Amino acid sequence: MLTIRDLTSDDVAGVVAAVQRDQRIAHRRNRFVNGALDRDELTEALARRRARTWIARDGDRLVGHLTATSLSESSRGPSAWISPDAVSFDRPTTLARLYAEAGEQWISDGVLEHVAWVYDRPDAREPWLDLNFAVMFRRGSRALNTPRETRLPSGYEGRWASLDDLDLAVALTKVIDEAEARGPSFVAEAPLDRDELAATLEDPDTMYYVVEHAGEAVAQCIAFPLLPVRGAYPRTLHLSAVVVQREHRGRGVATAMLNDVLTGARNRGFDYVDVTWRTANSAAAAFWTAYGLTPTYVRLRRLVDRR
C-alpha cells in the first residue's frame, strides 16, 4: 500500500539513490544530459534542506519523493520550483499522490504557481501533463566539436561588442520581448532591466556579438558560461538574447552569427552550448531545432486557481 509521509534522515540514502538512478537513465537515453552526480553533495543538501520533502513508500520500499524551492520571481507571487532532483516516482499514481500532499501545503502557504524542470521524455513529462501542468520552455544542447562553415550573407558584418554597446543591447533585447508579446507567444512584456543587462555585459566571461548591415546593428547574441546545474556539463556556454531584426530574418543571419559565436566559444575552451526557448515562440523553436540542438529538459508550469 502506498503511503506518503515527511522525509526523515533514514530516507536520505534512498532518495540519493533514486536521483542517481534517474540521472543515469536520462544520460543513457540522451547523451546531452550529464550523468555525473556528486552523491555527497546531494546527501548534504538533503540533510540541510529546510523546505519540506515528502516521501512515498510502498511497504518498506521508497518509491518516490517530492520537494520544491520557493522563489519569488514573478509578479504573481511566490512559486514552488521543482528541479529534476527534487522529484522521483515509480509510477504516475505515485507522483499524483505526492503532488496531492505537497501541492496542498504549497497552496495553503499561498504558493499558487508550481514549476517543474523535468527530462524531456514522454515518460518523464506526461505524468505532469495529466496533473494539469503545461510545457512552457524547452532546453536544448549541442556539442561544439563539429566546426561549422561561417558565412554571413553579403552586406552583413559581424563584430565582438562590449559594455560600450549597452544602448544597442537594450534596443535589440527589447525586440525579443516585442516578438514574444505577439502571437503565438502572447507574453506580457516584462520591463527590461538596463542595469542587469549592463552587469551581464560588464562580466569578463560574457561574450557579446553584434551583426551590422549598412552601418546599423541588426542582430545580436549574448552568451556566458552556464552556471553549474545538475545535468549540465562543465564548460557549457549558455546562449541568451539571440535576435535578428524583423526585416533581416529568413536570410541565414542568425545561423551565421551563431557559427561565429560558437567558433569563438570553442577557442575559449567551451565544449557544449545550451539554450532555453519558449515553446510557444514557434520561430525560435523551429530555428533551434534547425540549428541542431537536442532537447534535454522542459519547464512545466501549473497555475492553481485561487480558492
Ligand X SMILES: CC(C)(COP(=O)(O)OP(=O)(O)OC[C@H]1O[C@@H](n2cnc3c(N)ncnc32)[C@H](O)[C@@H]1OP(=O)(O)O)[C@@H](O)C(=O)NCCC(=O)NCCS
Q: Is 88 in the site for ligand X (CB under 6 A)?
A: no
* Nearer of residues 132 and 282 to ligand X, judged by Cβ: 282
The C-alpha cell at 40 is 555527497
Residue 184: asked if its preceding bond is cis (omega within 30°), the reply is: yes
- 278 within 8 A of 185, measured Cβ to Cβ: yes
Neighbours of 173 (CB within 10 A): 19
* Nearer of residues 111 and 176 to ligand X, judged by Cβ: 176
Contact positions with ligand X (CB under 6 A) in 221-280: 242-244, 249-255, 277
* Nearer of residues 139 and 266 to ligand X, judged by Cβ: 139
Contact positions with ligand X (CB under 6 A) in 45-84: none
Edge to edge, what strands does the sheet with 216-225 contain? 69-74, 77-82, 113-119, 294-303, 134-143, 272-278, 236-244, 216-225, 207-213, 156-161
| Closest to 199 in 3D by CA, of 235, 220, 169, 242 | 169
Give how many residues touch ligand X by CB under 6 A.
Answer: 19
| Closest to 220 in 3D by CA, of 258, 190, 193 | 258
Q: What is the contact mask toward ligand X in residues 174 to 213, using x (rule: CB under 6 A)?
A: --x--x----------------------------------
* Nearer of residues 46 and 242 to ligand X, judged by Cβ: 242
Residue 288 sits at φ, ψ, to 5 deg, of -70, -35
Q: How far is the CB of 290 from ligand X (least distance, A)?
A: 3
Q: How far is the CB of 278 from ligand X (least distance, A)?
A: 7
Q: Is 290 in the site for ligand X (CB under 6 A)?
A: yes
Which residues of this protein are in contact with ligand X, per CB under 6 A?
Answer: 176, 179, 242-244, 249-255, 277, 281, 283-284, 286-287, 290
